[in-house]
Amino acid sequence: MTTVGFIGLGIMGRGMARNLIKAGFELHVWNRTAGPTTELAAEGAVAAASPADLAAQCEIVIACVSNTEAVQAVLLGPSGVIEGARAGSLVIDMSTISPSATREIAARLGERGVHMLDAPVSGGSEGAARGTLTIMAGGPPEQFARALPVLQAMGKNIFHVGDHGAGQLVKLVNQILVVGNALAMSEALLFAQAAGLDLRKTLETVSSGAAGSWMLSNRGPKILARDWRPGFMIDLQQKDLRLALAAADEMGIPMLCTSLVSNLYSTLQAEGLGREGNHALIKALEKLAGVEVGAQPG
């Protein structure tokens, strides 16, 4: 069985790592803070002293961390993966980061004979825990084939979408759609609240028709329950939107809806709500309207 390393045991990484253990892989783990590493070690993983130490023990190294700078640090920085990885090993970055930075990282690793895939994910913390993530991978097809058994332990829908950076670009397409759906859901539920409709019956009705979506079915009920626990935090969603807007600016294309949602999220971050779930977008519209979804009609 392939020896796998996993760096980054946050809200997504912890569930993904657990599924690798369940699948029977020998798993080495490292996290910036020790608590999650200790937790996974108690479940059968091997704790590593550093990313370099982890890479020295593993054929395949996975990183799932918060942003571009964090990926660069754990892969290329002091005591990073590049200092321990053997020629011929494979790095899979499952974070969502800059596509151009991804290509630069792949080139740096390639100078050491280390292969790379960028393979960001979609599906939230629920998908990470259940092993049902959608995974979009960029990089050499032979390395995708090599990685497939590992990816299948974490995801259900797994796609090879092109060369280095393509996985990140497809993930940004995904995020553009996610926030567009979130804005439409928020407006619709606000409208239903203002109209005095039965929110649960309304949600059940529209979810079964042409307006149905993953966002509506999975996050609509959370809004009605005023449950803001994150499947994906506003701070991380906003980070992805900045990446999408920067890439769009490089291509010279307009991003009207995405820009609007990014501005709305900025108002929520200013109120200290950045660690709430991305469906808390509705709070920005509620503040504008003076209407709270889930409140009893006056």
Reported as a single tens digit per residue, the pLDDT across 163-179 is: 999 999 999 999 999 99
Query: What pLDDT, on a 0 to 100 scale, did the predictor assign at position 1?
Result: 75
Query: What pLDDT, on a 0 to 100 scale, did the predictor assign at position 101?
Result: 96
> How many Å apart are CA 211 and CA 219, to the nearest integer?
14
DSSP 3-state of 188 = helix
- Residue 29 near residue 40 (C-beta atoms within 8 A): yes
Strand (E) or helix (H) holding 5: strand 3-7
Copy the structure tokens of residue 50: 């550093």
Query: What pLDDT, on a 0 to 100 scale, did the predictor assign at position 196?
Result: 96
Give catalytic status of residue 22 as yes or no: no
Mean of pLDDT over the chain: 96
> How many Å apart are CA 98 and CA 109, to the nearest integer?
16
Selection from 114, 139, 147 nearest residue 2 by Cα: 147
Question: Which residue(s) pair with 117 in the sheet?
Answer: 92
CA 114 to chain centre: 24
Any residues with CB less than 8 A from the CB of 135 and at least 6 apart, and which? 94, 119, 120, 121, 151, 154, 155, 157, 158, 159
Query: What pLDDT, on a 0 to 100 scale, did the predictor assign at position 295?
Result: 76
Phi, psi dihedral angles at 288 (to 5 degrees): -65, -35
Q: Within the chain, which residues score under 70 in pLDDT?
A: 297-298
Question: How do strand 90-93 and strand 60-63 relate by DSSP bridges?
Answer: parallel
DSSP 3-state of 24 = coil
The 10s digit of each residue's pLDDT in 118-170 is 999 999 899 999 999 999 999 999 999 999 999 999 999 999 999 999 999 99
Selection from 24, 99, 89, 87 nearest residue 62 by Cα: 89
Domains and CATH numbers, the chain: 3-163 (3.40.50.720), 169-289 (1.10.1040.10)
* Identified catalytic residue from 22, 156, 171, 222: 171
Q: What percentage of the chain's residues is helix, strand, coil (to nearest 5)?
A: 55, 15, 30
Selection from 292, 198, 275 nearest residue 230 by Cα: 275
